[in-house]
Amino acid sequence: MIVPTQPPPQASSPWDVIVIGAGPAGCAAAITSARAGARTLLIEKGPAKRDKLCGCCLATSGVTQLRSLDTSGKLHAHVAAHALPLHTARVHAHARTGSFALPTSPAPGWAISRSVLDFALAHAARQAGAHVLFDAPAHLAFEGDAQRPALVQLEQHTLSAQIVLIADGLQGSSLPRTPAWHARVAPRSRIGLGAHTSTHALLQAGLPVPRPGEIVMHVADGGYAGLVQLAGGDIDLACALRSDAAGTPRPLQVARILASACAGTHSADLTRRWAALLSTLRLRGSAHLTRARRAGLGRTLVAGDARAYVEPFSGEGMTWALLAGAQAAQLACEALASTHAPWATLAQRWEHATRRTLAARHLRCRALAHLARSPAAVAAACALSHWSPAGLALRNVFAGLWQAPTRGIA
Ligand SMILES: Cc1cc2nc3c(=O)[nH]c(=O)nc-3n(C[C@H](O)[C@H](O)[C@H](O)COP(=O)(O)OP(=O)(O)OC[C@H]3O[C@@H](n4cnc5c(N)ncnc54)[C@H](O)[C@@H]3O)c2cc1C
């Protein structure tokens, strides 16, 4: 059980590593650095249990990554007990449907609630020896340089650290609003939207319920929406929407995607039922999704969505974040152990490492997001899912990308 802690008093010497943000990237970083013996502080602005906008599908490669974070196997076993293994992706577009088998080797991917996963990860960080602080919005006050440690500002304290790892998600809200940390947003980038409901609510509204173990994707002109059943009968809905549909209420925008992907032009009744249900749910939104910013500056490294993100069609964001967090911490620990004043090149090394590890994956995901902008192409892929190039591309997403092996810093 994690109990929120009071700010640990600033010791006479700086922290070795301060991590800002206790999502997958930040927790993977804190677990890795604490396990390597670094004095680590993990700071999260929200409470210990918090939900998030996410499709809640952890790819096969993410499950492997999770297992490698914790050699005791406790983290993996705890999350597995709350997850539903995924076996199929069903894709609807222009009233066509295609089914794609998901890889199950070396392990199936999981449908997992974000409040369960993030809580378990933070708990594992504490077990590994990190100090964990919740309900504590933090801001980077100084990036650190060759001579001076970095500074992190909490509400009432200023803490110093040899290295700061920023893992605070898409918005990078802990970073200074200076040109150096500005994020480049891709043109025509979509925005995220999501909600939780239940199988009971779907049945009552006369709407189709995703089967356990199945991801149901809906692709339409306004964007795409995925539904997945979580353990306990909860349903996660996550969408990437065109951001230029000004004037259309969000519930209606999502309802049109869900209905027209399944029923094409005969979707008025389905749209009405989805819109009625969605208007009763608490919708969570995000900023523009596809973006990137610099990987580091001075003694500050950026990992996970805060560094770069590509819209979520391939469902790999958590996997990228787990991988990047662990790698950033690995690099930080190498720098801490180095006798050759590593600070001048630290950020540059991280820039190279993140490009090497993630650039190809991001590129493939971008290509797929591009395909998802044409519901007609997706419908053709669904109709000919076993042999068309587009069908092959979709099959590759759910097989090749999800299985892509993870690796350390070369
Ligand atoms: C619509 C949608 C669907 C998605 N579907 C999937 C999917 O199915 N599978 C998948 O793998 N990925 C999916 N993703 C992506 C996935 O959610 C992210 O890539 C992943 O959560 C990134 O992890 P992170 O640790 O970098 O950031 P986050 O998970 O965002 O964690 C950042 C943490 O930092 C905290 N924080 C923020 N600011 C501060 C501050 N100033 N001080 C302290 N703490 C702070 C936040 O509260 C948060 O807990 C989806 C994303 C969207 C938008």
CATH number at residue 305: 3.50.50.60
The answer to whether the CB of 192 is under 6 A from ligand 1 is yes
Among 240, 259, 246, smallest CA distance to 314 is for 240
Q: What backbone phi and psi angles, to 5 degrees, belong to 146?
A: -60, -35
Ligand 1 atom closest to the Cα of residue 194 is: 1
Q: Is residue 140 part of a domain?
A: yes
The pLDDT profile of the chain, 410 residues, written as one tens digit per residue, is: 554 455 555 556 799 999 999 999 999 999 999 999 999 999 999 999 999 999 999 999 999 999 999 888 999 999 999 999 999 999 999 999 988 888 888 889 999 999 999 999 999 999 999 999 999 999 999 999 999 999 999 998 999 999 999 999 999 999 999 999 999 999 989 999 999 999 999 999 999 999 999 999 999 999 999 999 999 999 999 999 998 877 889 999 999 999 999 987 778 999 999 999 999 999 999 999 999 999 999 999 999 999 999 987 788 999 999 999 999 999 999 999 998 878 989 999 999 999 888 888 888 888 888 888 889 988 888 877 655 666 666 666 655 556 654 444 43
Peptide bond into 106 cis (omega under 30): yes
CA atoms within 13 A on the CB side of 385: 20
Q: What is the 79 CA–ligand 1 centroid distance (Å)?
A: 17
Report CA(12)–ligand 1 centroid distance (Å): 33
Q: Is 223 in the pocket of ligand 1 (CB under 6 A)?
A: no
Query: How remote is the CA of residue 312 from the centroid of ligand 1, in Å?
Result: 11
| Residue 41 belongs to a domain | yes
DSSP 306: G
Atom 26 of ligand 1, residue of closest alpha carbon:
304
Residue 327 lies inside a defined structural domain of this protein: yes
Structure tokens belonging to residue 196: 């939780």
Q: Is 22 in the pocket of ligand 1 (CB under 6 A)?
A: yes
For residue 212 and ligand 1, the question of a CB distance below 6 A is answered with: no
Q: Tell me the CA–centroid distance for residue 371 and ligand 1, in Å.
A: 24
In a domain, 326, yes or no: yes
pLDDT digits (tens, 9 = 90+) for 200-244: 999 999 999 999 999 999 999 999 999 999 999 999 999 999 988
Q: Who's near 273: CB < 8 A, 6+ residues apart?
A: 205, 206, 207
Q: How far is the CA of 114 from the centre of ligand 1 (A)?
A: 9
pLDDT of residue 4: 47
Taking CA atoms only, the protein residue closest to ligand 1 atom 15 is: 317
Residue 384 lies in a domain: no
Residue percentage of the chain with pLDDT more than 90: 73
Measured distance CA(363)–CA(192) in Å, rounded: 19
Its domain, for residue 166, covers 15-54+65-83+111-185+289-370
How far, in Å, CA of 367 to CA of 401, rounded? Answer: 12
Q: Is residue 35 a part of any domain in this protein?
A: yes
Pick from 393, 382, 384, 54: nearest CA to 219: 382
- The total of structural domains in the chain comes to 1
> Going edge to edge, which strands form the sheet with 96-101?
96-101, 88-93, 214-220, 223-229, 234-241, 191-198, 284-288
Nearest CA to ligand 1 atom 35: 21
In a domain, 349, yes or no: yes
pTM for this one? 0.94
First to last CA, the chain: 36
For the chain, state the CA radius of gyration. Answer: 21
Task: Tell me, yes or no, whether 275 lies in a domain.
Answer: no
Tell me: the pLDDT tens digits for 132-161? 999 999 999 999 999 999 999 999 899 999
